[in-house]
């Protein structure tokens, strides 16, 4: 069965560097949703078994944690949250694309596929310290959830010191994420 490959998707996206570090998630998420949906166009056995039909709605979300104690500029906070949100996909691309110019199949989990097909629900929460951010990240990974910690290089803020700024947990089942983040306030 023919399925689109990551390189097909990347060729359609706006601007991306050779190292895949400059993917602007908010600009290309519509293309990503199109690409993912095209993976499941055929009514084949694999698609039926994966349970990814829209009629089967599951509660999946991604939570983005932003450190408020850093007093980042609003644009910086948005950029860091965007990096965190897209990291579930970018980390896979970086891993499988290293030194490989061939077509690269992208393997998304069932939760990730459902999340993309159902509108990519995101909740942005605030944390008040690096310790709180790292604690949530650690609890999520210990619970078996994918968690992506973002460390800014410090080139434009933080006096050149690399600093943990944000974290994204998921996409995963709502109840699983809420066990880790229910105590946090909305951003």
Domains (range + CATH), the chain = 6-186 (3.40.1490.10)
pLDDT (average), residues 52-77:
84
For the chain, the maximum distance between any two Cα atoms, rounded to a whole number of angstroms, is 55
Q: Which of 186, 135, 167, 183 is nearest to 62 (CA)?
A: 167
What average pLDDT does this structure show over 176-183?
96
Cα(94)–Cα(110) distance, rounded to whole angstroms? Answer: 20
Tell me what the mean pLDDT of segment 95-99 comes to: 68
Q: How confident is the model at residue 100 (pLDDT cuts 50, 70, 90)?
A: low
C-alpha dist (Å) from residue 56 to 60, 66, 120: 12, 32, 15
State the pLDDT confidence band at 45, using cuts at 50, 70 and 90. Answer: very low
- Which pTM was predicted? 0.69
Determine the average pLDDT of the residues in 60-89.
94
Mean pLDDT value across residues 26-50:
49
Q: Which contiguous run of DSSP H or E holds residue 67?
A: strand 60-67
d(CA 100, CA 98): 5
Residue identified by tokens 């408020």 is 68
Q: Which helix (H) or strand (E) holds 150?
A: strand 147-152
SS3 assignment, position 158:
helix
Residue 6: pLDDT band by 50, 70, 90 thresholds? very low
Q: Which of 77, 74, 37 is nearest to 54 (CA)?
A: 37
What share of residues in the chain are helix, strand, coil (percent, to 5)? Answer: 45, 20, 35
Which of 52-56, 106-110, 147-151, 153-157 shows the lowest per-residue confidence on average (mean pLDDT)? 52-56
Q: Quick one: average pLDDT of 42-55? A: 46
């Amino acid at each position: 069965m023919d399925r689109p490959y990551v390189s097909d998707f990347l060729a359609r996206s706006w601007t991306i560097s050779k190292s895949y570090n400059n993917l602007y998630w908010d600009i290309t998420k519509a293309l990503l949703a199109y690409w993912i949906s095209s993976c499941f166009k055929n009514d084949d056995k694999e698609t039926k078994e994966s349970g990814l039909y829209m009629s089967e709605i599951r509660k999946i979300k991604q939570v983005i944690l932003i450190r408020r104690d850093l007093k980042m500029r609003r644009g910086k906070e948005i950029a860091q949250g965007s990096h965190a949100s897209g990291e579930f996909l970018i980390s896979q691309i970086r891993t499988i694309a290293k030194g490989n110019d061939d077509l690269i199949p992208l393997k998304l989990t069932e939760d990730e596929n459902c999340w993309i097909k159902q509108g990519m629900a995101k909740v942005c929460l605030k944390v008040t310290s690096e310790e709180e951010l790292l604690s949530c990240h650690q609890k999520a990974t210990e619970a078996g959830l994918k968690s992506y910690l973002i460390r800014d290089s410090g080139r434009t803020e933080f006096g050149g010191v690399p600093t943990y700024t944000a974290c994204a947990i998921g996409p995963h089942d709502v109840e699983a994420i809420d066990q880790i983040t229910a105590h946090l306030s909305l951003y």
